[in-house]
Chain A
Amino acid sequence: MVDEVDQDGIERIDVRYVANLARLYLDDSEVDTFQGQMEGIVEYVKQIGELDLSEIEPTSHARPIQNILREDVVSPGLDHELVMDNAPREKDGQFAVPQIIE
């Protein structure tokens, strides 16, 4: 998402592209606002680069917990009627959505 570098060597974020991935629709002034905010965030996180991390393994989780597993046992889920209460529309027991076009 950081895909260009300007003449001062500062990485520019393509806010419109990122917004599009998240299905967010921004007008021009919003793009400007987020441009500044997101670049601020990136700059902030970049401070970590000032440290020597050559001996540190990448961390995927904050806590050292492993193997939280369950046995393969079935238990009933939600009642169908209750589930469909959340459906915007229903058709033949299914969630009806706008036609999917590929």
Chain B
Amino acid sequence: MNYIVSIGLEVHVQLRTKSKMFCSCDTGYGAPPNTHVCPVCLGYPGAMPVMNKEAIRMTVLAGMMIGSEISTYSKFDRKSYFYPDMPKNYQITQYDKPFCDGGAVEIMVDGKPKTINVTRIHLEEDVGKNMHFRGSSGVDFNRAGIPLMEIVSEPDMSSPQEAYDYLTALKQIITYTDISNCNQEEGNMRCDVNCSIRPEGQTELGTKTELKNLNSFKAAFHALEYEIARQKEVLEAGGEIVQETRRWDPDTFETYSMRVKEKAHDYRYFPEPDLMPVVLDMELVEEWRSGLPELPEVRKARIITQYGLPEYDAGVLVSEKALADYFEGAAELSKNPKAISNWVMTEVLRFLSEKEIEITELKVMPKALSELVSLVDDKTINMTTAKEVFAIMCEKGGEPAGIVKEQGLAQVSDDGVIDAFVKQAMAENPKSVEDYKGGNKAAVQFLVGQVMRMSKGKANPQMVVGLLMDLMKG
């Protein structure tokens, strides 16, 4: 039997404010446990929360980026539950009056755009982090109270790949807006997934399960693949899907049941009495809107016209704001933006993926890349040498002209020197010379290779080819 898959995502994004949502504690990552805490985020009786204005601005910006309706009236609510990650025994979140209503994100499916609708974006506080020891668990409240934006989608995705693409698209939008670092390793972006299947022909959605503990896009993808197969197996065997929360175990690549999902009213939401409603002044909202960044699609079009790049290049470059920033940083200084684009799309991206680092961590500065391209263009070095210089800069940074000088890498364009190498190569390889004269034009490549070897890669290849052909003509 064929099944239709329906996937909805709740994506939690830590905002990159300096201080927490309801207190002035530092939001920095990696501090020793329980050192960024105060009476508010530790839930001491009587401590009063005060909203961080910047977190609200960032949430509203996210909504504007995906076309949400921005609420003029919002409020916070208490969601009650008992768990050792929450010292107050309730989380401050938004129940029925979130900051952003509706919106949509577009992904590409089989080359065609597909709209994934967003239900809402609300703001809440992150919870503490639990560590598990032998025989006990630990709680670190540094994370408790960091502003957490939750983006809830409709169950519009119909495959794990679509879910993955939606997450990637969201990340692109959010990093463009500069409201979160979206660093998955640091837990800036986490998601819960709702997933159900139903036989083809049935209109009403099947019973859904919720998957938690998905700390990376890949985990979401694999967990969904597993869960869809599991649900199919249950249905095919004549069983029923139980509405429950399941946990993804990244080690065994399986989901397992956590607890039967509590009904929504068990959380006993009620208005947070310690926080007054937020009434957004539309003038202020419009002022915030004017600070919106260039959307990826707009930037792509501009890069195509401004730098004369093919659409493909522009698409790759704008995939991430930091990458586009890097490219433009170098291209603005260069006479040859297409060469910059080639370097970024090949050598730069290859190095980043090999080392699994971000573009912002690359030691080759945009200015250095543009200088490297100039050195190739004015024939000071050839492409082979340029790649060597690039590799050196990847390790140590620095500027290319200095490295070329220091390491004696400048291209040899001296007629006399090249002439000597070429003659030597011909003398040592008479058979290749005969082959060439006999009509095997490819033989010249072997001789060029010999000259490059003798010159340690520094000979100007065009000059070598020209000279070889001249000498072998007669």
Residues of A participating in the B interface, judged by any CB pair closer than 8 Å: 1, 21, 23, 60-61, 63, 65-78, 80, 83-84, 86, 89, 91-100, 102
Contact = CB atoms under 8 A, between A and B. Distances in A.
Contact of B33 (A66, A76, A93): A93
Contact of B32 (A67, A78, A93): A93
B39 interface: yes
Nearest to A62: B273
Contacts of A76: 26
The 3 closest A-B pairs by CB, nearest first: A94-B138, A77-B38, A72-B54
A84 B276 contact: no
A60 B24 contact: no
B333 interface: no
B56 A69 contact: yes
Contact of A99 (B33, B39, B137): B137
A70 B135 CA distance: 41
A97 B138 contact: yes
Interface in B271-325: 271, 273, 275-279
Interface stretch (B126-134, B201-209, B451-459): B126-134
Contact of A95 (B17, B53, B138): B138
Contacts of A69: 50-53, 56, 278
Contacts of B130: 100
B273 A72 contact: no
Contacts of A21: 80, 266, 268
B75 interface: yes
18 contacts: A23-B82, A60-B75, A66-B276, A66-B278, A69-B56, A72-B52, A74-B26, A77-B24, A78-B39, A80-B34, A84-B34, A86-B42, A89-B136, A91-B133, A91-B136, A94-B140, A95-B34, A97-B137
Interface residues of B, number: 54
B28 to A, nearest CB: 9
A68 B34 contact: no
Interface in B21-66: 23-27, 32-39, 41-42, 50-56
Given A94-B138, A94-B140, A99-B137, A80 B276 contact: no
Contacts of A100: 83-84, 130, 132, 137
Contacts of B18: 72-74
Nearest to A71: B53
Contact of B139 (A23, A66, A73, A95): A95
Contacts of B82: 23
B181 to A, nearest CB: 16
Contacts of A83: 34, 37, 42
A77 B277 CA distance: 26
B259 interface: yes
Contact of B259 (A71, A84, A94, A102): A102
Contact of B25 (A74, A91, A99): A74
Contacts of A89: 136
Central interface residue in B33, B247, B265, by most chain A CB within 10 Å: B33
A70 B84 contact: no
B234 interface: no
Nearest to B57: A72
Q: Output the residue of A70, A71, A80 with the most chain B CB within 10 A.
A: A70
B78 to A, nearest CB: 11
A95 B51 CA distance: 26
Nearest to B17: A72
